[in-house]
């Protein structure tokens, strides 16, 4: 009988220790975000670039869109751009309702929705102030 009492004590002790570790080592959700966090705001340069990207997609001009990309990304995207020109205006419409989800001095990422599916598009610059499409 004492053997079972010892096992029950260890079981309850382990359960109590796990419960305390779980509850005492986690931060409450409301304290995980900085209170002074400002909402992301698109810069004037990014707005201008986004408008140029929208215009390029609206006109279904694959060459104009590819000229707005870094050269190393062009060879990956150009075949799809040339074969899907009919889908480019829908992409332009989605870009008009873009949501900024990440931003720093060299990178901007947006979320767009097309037919209920969420996608991302990212712009980047190499410190020269010239924004380019990185991925979409």
At 107, which CATH number?
3.10.450
Residue 100 has pLDDT above 70, yes or no: yes
| 110 within a domain of the structure (yes/no) | yes
Average model confidence (pLDDT) for the chain?
A: 84
| 18 within a domain of the structure (yes/no) | yes
Is 88 in the same domain as 110? yes
Tell me, what's the pLDDT at 33? 58
Is 14 in the same domain as 69? no
Q: What distance in Å separates the CA atoms of residue 98 and residue 50, rounded to the nearest whole number? A: 10
| 121 within a domain of the structure (yes/no) | yes
Is 112 in the same domain as 71? yes
Tell me, what's the pLDDT at 28? 64
pLDDT > 90: percent of the chain? 16
| 36 within a domain of the structure (yes/no) | no
Q: In 3D, which of 29, 94, 4 has the Cα closest to residue 58?
A: 94
| Mean pLDDT of the 72-81 span | 84
| Mean pLDDT of the 109-128 span | 89
| Mean pLDDT of the 56-75 span | 86
Residue 116 has pLDDT above 80, yes or no: yes
Tally of domains in the chain: 2
Is 78 in the same domain as 118? yes
Tell me, what's the pLDDT at 111? 92
Domain of 55 in residue numbering reads as 44-135
Q: In 3D, which of 64, 24, 49 has the Cα closest to residue 121?
A: 49
79 burial level (CB within 10 Å; 0-12, 13-18, 19+): exposed
Number of continuous H segments (helices) and E segments (strands) in the chain:
5, 4
pLDDT digits (tens, 9 = 90+) for 13-59: 887 888 877 777 776 666 555 566 677 788 888 889 899 999 988 99
Q: Can you give the pTM of this predicted structure?
A: 0.67
Is 27 in the same domain as 86? no
Is 107 in the same domain as 48? yes
Is 18 in the same domain as 74? no
Is 13 in the same domain as 62? no
């Amino acid at each position: 009988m004492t053997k079972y009492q010892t096992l029950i004590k260890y079981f309850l002790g382990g359960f109590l220790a796990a419960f305390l570790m779980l509850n005492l080592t986690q931060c409450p959700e409301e304290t995980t975000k900085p209170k002074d966090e400002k909402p992301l705001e698109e810069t004037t340069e990014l707005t201008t670039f986004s408008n140029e990207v929208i215009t390029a997609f609206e006109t279904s001009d694959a060459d104009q869109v590819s000229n707005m990309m870094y050269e190393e990304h062009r060879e990956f995207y150009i075949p799809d751009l040339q074969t899907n020109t009919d889908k480019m205006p829908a992409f332009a419409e989605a870009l008009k309702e873009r949501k900024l989800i990440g931003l720093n001095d060299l990178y901007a990422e947006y979320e767009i929705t097309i037919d209920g599916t969420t996608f991302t598009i990212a712009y980047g610059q190499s410190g020269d102030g010239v924004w380019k499409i990185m991925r979409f």
